[in-house]
Amino acid sequence: MAELKKISSPEDGGGTTSIEARFAQFCKNDLPLVDDNFLTQATKLFNESKNLLMTNFSAVGTGTPDEAERYWFAFVLYSVRRLSENGAPAEKGLSLCQILKAARLNVFDFYKELHQFLIKVGSILNNLYGGDWEKRLKAKESQTNFVHLTVLSKKYERAFREFFSIADGNNDKQLVVANTSGCESDYYRFGWLLFLALRVHVFSLCKDLVTCTHGLVSVLAILLIHVPARFRNFNVSDSEHIVMKGDKVDLLASLCNMYETSEDELKKTMEKANSLIADILSKKPCLASERKPENLENIITDGLIYFEDLMDESSLSSSLVLLETDYDAANKNVGELDERIFINENDSLLGSGSLSGGAVTTNGGGAKRKLDVISSPTKTLTSPLSPYRSPASHSNGGIYKIAATPVSTAMTTAKWLRTVIAPLPSKPSADLERFLSSCDRDVTADVTRRAQIILEAIFPSSGPGQNASLMDNMWAQHRRMEAMKLYFRVLQAMCTAESQILHANNLTSLLTNERFHRCMLACSAELVLATHKTVTMLFPTVLERTGITAFDLSKVIESFIRHEESLPRELRRHLNSLEERLLESMVWEKGSSMYNSLIVARSTLSTEISRLGLLAEPMPSLDAIAMHFDVSCGASPPMQSLLKNEKQGQNGDICSPKRLCTEYRSVLVERNSFTSPVKDRFLALNNLKPKIPPPFLQSAFASPTRPNPGGGGETCAETAVNVFFSKIVKLAAVRINGMVERLQLSQQIRESVYCLFQKILGQRTTLFFNRHIDQIILCCFYGVAKISQLNLTFKEIISNYRKQPQCKPQVFRSVYVDWTAQRRNGKNGPDHIDIITFYNEIFVPAVKPLLVELAPGGSTQTTSQSPETKNNIDGPCPASPKPSPFPSLPDMSPKKVSAAHNVYVSPLRSSKMDALISHSSKSYYACVGESTHAYQSPSKDLTAINNRLNGSRKLRGTLNFDDVDVGLVTDSMVAKSLYVQNGSCSSSPPMPVKSEQPDS
């Protein structure tokens, strides 16, 4: 947490060197900066932001002044490096690696802290570099790229270790690649450098995880073809994953079988890799079937390309030099990471740290990086060609159990796209056409044309002046087709369900709604992007390119999941994670169409919404999108009827939305948070039968002022807001419950926090505007603790919140405020403050009357109007629902079953069990969970677990009814077991926090 008091500059070795002088010295002495223009820009940004550094030392890194300075120096230089358009050659030569080495920082920690810097200096960067600075900086894409490279390098390391054991030519001593010396093997370096050449020259735009995995597997294939057979660490004849044709091995099919890649894509990527070898290394390719090298004995050589002396000791070192030179030339003006650090021994840039709560972790050098596994069905492998062999593996050809990694998860979902969605027709099916033609007019052509325009805007092909290869264009075309087929498939299922509810095939109001179709297309495209894990098109790109807002998209996610039964578990979780992001913060941002419905449903909020300028801008027409993204869809006439309706407000909200989501967010939450227990709980809650009027989709996308087609006397805006608020409350219940369990608070406190949150949502709704719901939840906890006289500090609350899976440091470090209305301490305009300042200055004055009501006898105090109540800009909303008791949450897993030990219980669904266990391998599994010992029976596992849980507790053999003190359970004992004795619950007004500051 940033300390908001001015502190002096730290002295350097007892001297009086100013912080400005130290920055200048850092730039001139520690970095190769000789360009005056770049140095001038960096100095200007530093001088304008140094006051923020001075007041926020404790919130940067570990909080020491020296480290905070080094971080700030690196942030400033990195930002100027990326945002400078006309830099000199010396400035263009400055890379992130050089900056970090000079500042003595590692990549993990740099990206973790960069977000807070960008929040603090956002207005300064906006003034210096324009409103599009975030797009040009591309910090989020850079972080995603680094995460992808981390998991790919680990995948490559494991695969190489399994495939090869390299012998040292000097002493014939066998080396393992996992060891430090093995990572420096020339074969190992050659493979990674060839992969980087593919990324630079072939995957220039489509650097998604799936495409790069195909590139990595193609490199492994080339190594298997050319590395001498005596260095192989496997036998091609003893694995069930080896594809045999006759008595020979089909190498490419075997690799596809192991890594779930597409054989066609793998062959195309290998062609590109072979071309690079020929061009960069000047090697002459030849057909392996003609040369029949000894290295390919017992391997089918048809279609394989062989380079005669590629791995010869005499030419390998020169090939490495050529690949290094090519990489340097291609990246000298990029200014990004040097991707060779992943194969450098103990590179300090990899350091030790984690991103997004441990999604990617390093310990020591680059050779010992590890990834937290993604919760996914465990695989049994009997192949010595397996990508990773468990330490508990057995040398007798036994079972190897591996957990899914981000790479294997992406390849599994990509296989679903390839096998389930790709074979579908690229046009509406006969059943869907029946619904489209049954409208008041046939809208088939409109639906098809809209899909083409929107999807080409999301997945654009290269145009004039764009730097895209043929493979990039093919990639974009394939992604468009996948998204379109998925869109038609789910749209048909939704139409079928709606027609059954309405007992009619005429779905004109839904099928002519522009916003509904764009949301469906955005959802389909986002699933395709999430499957491939793209770097350049991260969420919320689909919102920007379709012209919709987060509130619009949140209306279709639940229906999309329900109507696509074949959706893989990982993609369901991604949509669930996405919906959480929308509900927790994005829907409350400026420009959300939620405000367009809110001013109709809660008219008392219209003044504040207008004052803050929160309403959404008009949604761009299809023709405008086609023109902006240079989309060509043939000679089809524009959809004049739809454009006319949009102008008249018949197909959307009062003001149709268009916005750019510019808030920088952690990328790992978007792509790699499939295992959050809270997300699993929220997903299960969403899968419960919804209490929504039958024609919900039609009312959700109708004009806000229209009556709800489902009846009840509500407008469509009121229905949409009520459904949205119910989802917010549901999400809050899960998070409140998680915090209560972690803080070990009583159920009474849980009820009070939940009740207060509901009242704030209904009666002080403006507190949510431009904020994160967790900020309100944390303040609710502290407010209830004060009113209940619990000994619970804000520091404890923040400390335990840090352990929650959805935690983001910016939630408690940076809370949005607009001082215009408050006019306190001479402050005016928007600002970002820490959560304690927010609690004292904003939260307490607004909700103090609501807090007093929660105290014993508080209901009798509500008749008197306090100054805070009179001055509150909201007041109670006429249509605000009454607070409901804490909901009965589903019994979710993993569930902690021991207060003293980290023991969790998670049920195993029968469908998952069947997938995990084949008839031939059931005896190897203990289905109660992870076996405590290899091949141990389930009964022994249960005994071991019970002994661990019971510990030293003494169990009585029989009940002694003669002894009054034995076995009696009194009401007071039950009460004590239900409520944590944290103090009495007497009523008292909440007191502001005086000086306490949570950890940063």
Q: What is the pLDDT of residue 502?
A: 84
Please check whether residues 308 and 342 belong to one and the same domain. Answer: yes
Please check whether residues 28 and 98 belong to one and the same domain. Answer: yes
Please check whether residues 67 and 213 belong to one and the same domain. Answer: no
Q: What is the pLDDT of residue 501?
A: 86
Mean of the pLDDT values across residues 281-287? 91
Q: Give tens-digit pLDDT for 541-565.
A: 899 999 999 999 999 999 999 999 9
Which tokens go with 895?
Answer: 């569930």
Please check whether residues 245 and 217 belong to one and the same domain. Answer: yes
Q: Give tens-digit pLDDT for 425-476.
A: 999 999 999 999 999 999 999 999 999 999 999 998 764 444 556 777 888 8
Average pLDDT, the chain: 74
**Binning pLDDT at 50, 70 and 90, where does residue 948 land?**
low
Least confident of 229-243, 761-775, 917-931: 917-931
Does 864 fall in a domain?
no
CA distance linking residue 218 with residue 263, whole number of Å: 10
Q: What is the pLDDT of residue 588?
A: 95
Least confident of 715-724, 838-847, 865-874: 865-874
Does 865 fall in a domain?
no
Please check whether residues 430 and 464 belong to one and the same domain. Answer: yes
Share of the chain above pLDDT 70, in %: 66
CA distance linking residue 439 with residue 740, whole number of Å: 51
Q: What is the pLDDT of residue 988?
A: 46
Please check whether residues 235 and 328 belong to one and the same domain. Answer: yes
Per the listing, tokens 């019971």 go with 950
Read off the CATH number of the domain in which 533 is found. Answer: 1.10.472.10
Read off the CATH number of the domain in which 96 is found. Answer: 1.10.472
CA distance linking residue 278 with residue 307, whole number of Å: 9
Mean of the pLDDT values across residues 45-68? 84
Mean of the pLDDT values across residues 803-825? 82
**If we measure between CA atoms, which residue out of 648, 701, 646 comes closest to residue 511?**
701
Which tokens go with 255?
Answer: 């690799």
Q: What is the pLDDT of residue 820?
A: 79
Domain extent for 205: 138-166+183-351
Does 889 fall in a domain?
no
Does 735 fall in a domain?
no
Q: Give tens-digit pLDDT for 480-518.
A: 999 999 999 999 999 999 898 888 899 998 999 999 999
Per the listing, tokens 């969970």 go with 929
Does 366 fall in a domain?
no
Mean of the pLDDT values across residues 167-186? 45
Mean pLDDT: which of 310-314, 740-744, 773-777 is highest? Answer: 773-777
Does 221 fall in a domain?
yes
Least confident of 267-281, 390-404, 461-475, 872-886: 390-404
For residue 964, give Cα distances in angstroms to 956, 959, 967. 15, 11, 8
Please check whether residues 269 and 162 belong to one and the same domain. Answer: yes
Does 967 fall in a domain?
no
Please check whether residues 143 and 122 belong to one and the same domain. Answer: no
Q: What is the pLDDT of residue 700?
A: 79
Domain end, chosen from 854, 869, 900, is at 854
Q: pLDDT at residue 1000 above 60?
A: no
Q: pLDDT at residue 634 above 70?
A: no
Please check whether residues 154 and 296 belong to one and the same domain. Answer: yes
CA distance linking residue 658 with residue 685, whole number of Å: 30
- What total of structural domains would you count in the chain? 4
Q: What is the pLDDT of residue 550?
A: 93
Q: What is the pLDDT of residue 857?
A: 61
Mean of the pLDDT values across residues 110-120? 86
Please check whether residues 160 and 102 belong to one and the same domain. Answer: no
**Binning pLDDT at 50, 70 and 90, where does residue 764 land?**
very high
The answer to whether the beta carbons of residues 718 and 879 sit under 8 Å apart is yes
Q: What is the pLDDT of residue 141?
A: 85
Please check whether residues 40 and 104 belong to one and the same domain. Answer: yes
Please check whether residues 300 and 412 belong to one and the same domain. Answer: no
3-state secondary structure 549-590: CHHHHHCCHHHHHHHCCCCCHHHHHHHHHHHHHHHHCHHHCC
CA distance linking residue 209 with residue 152, whole number of Å: 8
Does 104 fall in a domain?
yes
Q: What angle do CA 154, 160, 166 make, to 5 degrees?
A: 135
CA distance linking residue 496 with residue 853, whole number of Å: 49
